[in-house]
Amino acid sequence: MGYWRQFFNTAGESTTLAALNSGTTATAGAYRVPISGTLRKIVIFIGSEAATSLVEDVRVELTCTKWTPNTQEFVANGSGLRTATTPQHFPFEFAMNQPVDLSVDINGNYIHDSGSPVTSRIRVMGYVE
pLDDT at residue 13, as a whole number: 80
End-to-end CA distance of the chain: 6
CA separation for the pair 88, 12 (Å, rounded): 17
CB atoms within 10 A of CB 38: 13
The model scores a pTM over 0.75? yes
What per-residue confidence (pLDDT) applies to 67? 98
CB-CB contact of 8 with 23 (8 Å): yes
Q: Is the dihedral of CA 81, 84, 85, 88 positive or negative?
A: positive
Calculate mean pLDDT across residues 97-114. Answer: 93
Going along the chain from its start, the domains and CATH numbers come out as 3-128 (2.60.120)
Torsion, Cα 51 56 62 63, to 10 degrees, reads -130
Ramachandran bin of 114, using left for φ above 0, alpha for ψ from -120 to 50, beta for the remaining angles: beta
